[in-house]
Structure 1
Amino acid sequence: MQQVSPTSGKINLDPDNAEHGLAQLVLTVIELLRQIVERHAIRRVEGGTLSDEEIENLGEALMNLEEKMEELKDIFGLDAEDLNIDLGPLGSLL
């Protein structure tokens, strides 16, 4: 957790919370990329540009990535909402 000291104006970092915040940021970026790849894969499947084997491999890879994301969220005590950063007037990231 970051705190500003009222007397010095310096930011003090709590190492335990810094690790959690970094994990949250990294998993948010990975989840965003996973969703982009998934959408692109769906467009390619619907466009008919993939063979049956490529579709099968892609589906398996996306399922494995989703399972790993769930595992990592459990390890760091995060849920899907924790990865959804509020971008103010732009809305939510995910």
Structure 2
Amino acid sequence: MSTVLLFISGAEIFFILFIVVMVFGADKIPGIAKGLGKGMRQLKDATEDIKREIHKSAEKQGIDTSFTKEIEEDIQAVKRNLDDVGGTISRK
């Protein structure tokens, strides 16, 4: 059974990594990965800050935000169902 990540096979991932090593060199790859990790973390932190500011602004204006928790719970339930279906499909 092979693992599929973003519809890319193991051989394709290996080929992409090989090209990256050839272009940047093995010594620079950890620095590139570290930079990508920092960038992704900053993006996540920024989106969390925006969410917090929106909720604060809504609370100041007296807007009821309790429905967002219900929506988030529904989204999580759908994600769990998709994971269950995806696990069943990938096992066959």
TM-score by length of 1: 0.40
More strand by share: 1
- TM, length-normalised to structure 2: 0.41
Larger helix fraction of residues:
2
Question: For the pair shown, which has the larger CA radius of gyration, 1 or 2?
Answer: 2
